[in-house]
Structures are given as structure tokens and as C-alpha cells.
Amino acid sequence: MNSSTVIRKSFRRTVLASVVALGAFGASNSFAAESTTTATGTVIAPIAITNPVNLNFGRFVAGVAVGTVKVDTNGSRTATGDAFLPTVGPTPTAAQFLVTGGADATYTISWTGAVLTNTTGAGAETMTLARISDLTGGGGASADVLSGALSAGGDQTIYLGGTLSVGAAQVAGVYTGDVTATVEYN
């Protein structure tokens, strides 16, 4: 065999081995792929609630029969039955609760408190409060609002009114009781 034939056969073997090696190593890389994700988390402000305005039914007179005094969420006051509204005394107001937190966040509202007790009398006279609330202060609410959504600025006001059940010959005095609004992010 001449040397050029040996060189050609040797060259062919080298090229063939290179192709086989390239195919074997290249094949594993040709089936691989990768991708990357970015992990993100956003911390928002804790939800908070304050009470800048209290619910005030103003002064009223209890008659000899039962009646009611209602302060609507817009602050207007009406009476039914044997309850009378004098024009003197403090102006009735609906309560306001200011909720603050993360922009556009939604939340739930839960309520407690339904009894006002005479704090100036000798006995334990009470009046029952049926709460009404809304998110507009427009009046006309008939039940408690149970959820809300914060604005793009991260705030919202809840307006609270209610109807007091005034007993027949309800004992005179200053009646107070706490109404608590609890808010929680959804």
C-alpha cells in the first residue's frame, strides 16, 4: 500500500471520528433549552381605619308610646311613632370611618355594637340601635355594607347611620354605646 492511500484512509477515519464525536456531543446540546423568570413581590400598606366623625342622634323627646329616631348615612334625621325632634341642640351626624391601605385593594367589613345605655341615669336603661351603612353618604341605606374597594389613592369612607328604638316613656339621659367597624383585606 502506498503512503497516499494510508494517508487518505487515516484522514477518512479522523474525519469520520470527528463527525461521530460532534454528532454525539452536539446532539445532547441541540435538545436543551432554557428560560429565566423574574420573581416579583409587592408589599402594600397595612389596612387601617379611623373614625373622624361620630354617630350623633341629637336631642329628642320620648312620648308615652314607642317610637324611633333615625339618622341616615347622609346625616338627615327623622322620627316615627311617639318620638319627637326638637330643633334645638347638637346637629345630628352620621358617623364616618376612613379606611386606608393599598391602592385599589378590596376589603371586608364586619360590625359590632347595637345597644346604647343611659350613662347619666341611676338604672340600666337602654335603647337598641339598628345600624345602616353605605360607601357614598348619600342616604337611603337599609342594611350594613359588608365590603369595599379602596381608591387609586388607597382610601375610602364608610358612612354609618342607624335607627334607635325609643321605648314608651324612655327615661331621660345621655345614652351611649360603641359601634365597631373591623376591616380586613380580601
pLDDT digits (tens, 9 = 90+) for 76-96: 999 999 999 998 888 999 999
Mean pLDDT of the 44-66 span: 96
Residue 24 pLDDT greater than 90, yes or no: no
Average confidence score pLDDT of the chain: 89
The CATH T-level fold of domain 48-185 is Immunoglobulin-like (2.60.40)
Question: What is each CA distance from 129 to 136, 137, 173, in whole angstroms?
Answer: 21, 19, 16
Q: How confident is the model at residue 22 (pLDDT cuts 50, 70, 90)?
A: low
Mean pLDDT of the 92-103 span: 97
DSSP character for 163? E
Mean pLDDT of the 153-176 span: 96
- Which own/partner contact pairs does 20-24 have at CB distance under 8 Å and 24+ positions apart? none
Give the residue from 24, 69, 89, 73 showing the smallest Cα distance to 166: 69
Rounded percentage of the chain residues whose pLDDT exceeds 90:
76
Mean pLDDT of the 116-145 span: 92
DSSP character for 154? S
For residues 94 and 44, the model is more confident at 94
Helices and strands, counts by H and E, the chain: 1, 11
pLDDT of residue 26: 52
pLDDT of residue 28: 55
pLDDT of residue 120: 87
pLDDT of residue 87: 86
Question: What is each CA distance from 93 to 104, 139, 159, in whole angstroms?
Answer: 28, 12, 10
